Structure 1
Amino acid sequence: MYLSPEHLTNYAETFINVLIDYSPKLISAFLILFVGLYAIRIINRSIRKIMIKRELEPTLTKFLTDILLWVLRVLLFVTFIEKLGIGASSFVAILGAIGLAVGLSLQGSLSNFAGGVLIILFKPFKVGDTIEAQGIIASVSEIQIFSTKLITANNQTVFIPNGALSNGTIINHSMQGYRRADLTFAISYDSDIKKAKDIITNVLKANPKVLKTPGFEVSVKSLTDTSIQLAVRPWATNENFGSITSETLENCKIAFDAAGISIQPFVKGLSKNEA
């Protein structure tokens, strides 16, 4: 196809005329876009400051401000498209179809998102709590939109999807503020039960980390074929729980040795083939 100079001139003039006619819309659309982005940043920052001032939970603050940020961005983008002269209804329909397709392909992610919303709304735990879930005992470091970040006692980072976490059993070891240690001492049948219980009682009373209220318990748990099992149940704050367990075991062992009370070792039963 041959284009004469006259045709090129006509095309150029037409393009310039269209550009001149369309430039006000183009300028106003980009002006709205830039001003809107700046306004969204100011609004988001102000809302975050208000939530922090009212001492809302940091996880809830971050979650709500992130949602608000993306909602405002989507509304701004729709306004920008409409200002350019593109039909907003058509764009929304296309966006809805794309959203449906993405939603079907990301069902697991949407489940995790819903789980994150449930965790933040019903608060079975918060940042800093020690929880037991999905076979893991760890401290909650961060509650994200799709997963929860945990830090184990040996400083390993674990991410658990919020969908599985919200639908499973969660044991919160920190919610009540204090915990009870369940310890068992097995002593021989030759030992004096009352003396052994008095020794354990004195050890617990001498430890300032053991809570007076609720009171500790020292009782006979069971009589097995090889030993007398004593149940020892001291209470301690969450911060002192680990040290209470180790200190009670160590101090009771030292006191038993001094008093001549022997701790009965575990005896494995012999099978018929070994007998």
Structure 2
Amino acid sequence: MNLDPHQLTNYVNGFIKVLIDYSPKLISAFIILFVGLYVIRLINRFIRRLMIRRNLEPTLTKFLADILLWALRVLLFVTFISKLGIETSSFVAILGAMGLAVGLSLQGSLSNFAGGMLIILFKPFKVGNTIEAQGVIGTVSEIQIFVTKMITANNQTIFIPNGSLSNGTIINYSLLESRRADLTIAISYDTDIRKAKEVIMSVLKSNPKVLETPAPDVVVKSLTDTGIQLAVRPWAKNEDFWSVYSETYIECKNAFDKAEISIQPFVMELSKKESISGTTETNKG
């Protein structure tokens, strides 16, 4: 095909004219884009530093800063294409339709997202707390947008969806500084209850890890068919809780041996029930 030099010249001249006419918009649009990205970065840094100075939760700081960052980027992009002369109303409508479609397809994820926001804002627990939720006990190592990461006592990593976590019951063992241990020790009916309580109280008072306030307590929990159950309730700091739990049982056993007080084993009650059950079956036979 033969090209007419005159026609080619007209095309080139027309292209140059359009480029010259459109170049101010193009240059201004890219200036807005690059300056906007720089300003958004400065704003994001300023907001992060401001929230850190206000001692906000690190997870909440990162979460809010990321939301602000992407919101400003979307606003900048819309301004950029508008400066280029592209109609933004149809573009915004397309974004809205896409957002609705994505929202319907990710209902479960959005539920977890909302749950993560509730956890971060209302702070029922924070990183480092030991909690019990969804049948799991562990230490919170990370609060993410969709899941919460927990480490159990046997070093297993568990991820719990924030939607179910925020809607369920949460027991926070680390929220308060101290915690009460609820122990049960059984003695026989031949034992002097006052003497047994005095021995246990002396054990609790001699343990430096047991707090004086609130004061420890020993009360009669119940009278069973095989013995008397005493409820032993020492208070301890969170970091000393399991030490106090174990040491109380050990020291009470040693103190009972010295005082010649016998601990009533719970297995006797089970043996009695089995004996009664066997006798009943024999009578039926």
Q: TM-score, normalised by structure 1?
A: 0.91
Find the counterpart in structure 1 of residue 28 from structure 2. Answer: 28
**Equivalent position to 1:5, from 3, 15, 26:** 3
Instruction: State the structure with more CA Rg.
Output: 2
Find the counterpart in structure 1 of residue 48 from structure 2. Answer: 48
Which stretch of structure 1 is more off in the superposition, 141-150 or 13-22?
13-22
Which stretch of structure 1 is more off in the superposition, 128-137 or 25-34?
25-34
Moved over 4 A (4+): 7-17
Distance 1:230 1:23, change over 3 A: same
Identity %: 75
Deviations 1:187-231 (A, max 9, x none): 233333222211110111011111111111101111112222110
Q: Where in structure 2 are the equivalents of 1:72-87 lying within 5 Å?
A: 72-87=72-87
Query: Does residue 211 of the first structure (1) align with residue 211 of the second (2)?
Result: yes
Q: Give the residue type in structure 2 aligned to 1:160.
A: I
Find the counterpart in structure 2 of residue 238 from structure 1. Answer: 238
Deviations 1:141-184 (A, max 9, x none): 22222222222222222221111111111111222221111000
Find the aligned partners of 2:157 and 2:13 in 1 and give their Cα distance: 64
Find the aligned partners of 1:49 and 1:274 in 2 and give their Cα distance: 76
SS in 2 for 1:5: coil
SS in 2 for 1:212: coil
Query: Does residue 255 of the first structure (1) align with residue 255 of the second (2)?
Result: yes
Find the counterpart in structure 2 of residue 99 from structure 1. Answer: 99
SS in 2 for 1:140: strand
SS in 1 for 2:266: coil
Q: Give the residue type in structure 2 aligned to 1:205.
A: K
Deviations 1:12-64 (A, max 9, x none): 55445444443333333223222222211111111111111122222222221
Find the counterpart in structure 2 of residue 127 from structure 1. Answer: 127
Distance 1:222 1:11, change over 3 A: same
Find the counterpart in structure 1 of residue 184 from structure 2. Answer: 184
Structure 2, unmatched stretches of 5+, are none
SS in 1 for 2:55: coil
Find the aligned partners of 2:43 and 2:219 in 1 and give their Cα distance: 62
| Structure with more of its chain in helix, by fraction | 2
Which stretch of structure 1 is more off in the superposition, 172-181 or 190-199?
190-199
Structure 1, unmatched stretches of 5+, are none
Q: Where in structure 2 are the equivalents of 1:145-224 lying within 5 Å?
A: 145-224=145-224
Which stretch of structure 1 is more off in the superposition, 227-236 or 23-32?
23-32
Find the aligned partners of 1:31 and 1:229 in 2 and give their Cα distance: 80
Which stretch of structure 1 is more off in the superposition, 181-190 or 120-129?
120-129
Which stretch of structure 1 is more off in the superposition, 254-263 or 6-15?
6-15
Q: Give the residue type in structure 1 aligned to 2:214.
A: P
SS in 1 for 2:163: helix
Find the aligned partners of 1:257 and 1:11 in 2 and give their Cα distance: 108
SS in 1 for 2:90: helix
Distance 1:259 1:82, change over 3 A: same
Find the aligned partners of 1:195 and 1:27 in 2 and give their Cα distance: 93
Find the aligned partners of 1:131 and 1:11 in 2 and give their Cα distance: 73
Q: CA RMSD in A?
A: 2.1
Q: Tell me the matched-pair count.
A: 273
Which stretch of structure 1 is more off in the superposition, 251-260 or 41-50?
251-260
Find the aligned partners of 1:216 and 1:241 in 2 and give their Cα distance: 13
Q: Give the residue type in structure 2 aligned to 1:249.
A: Y
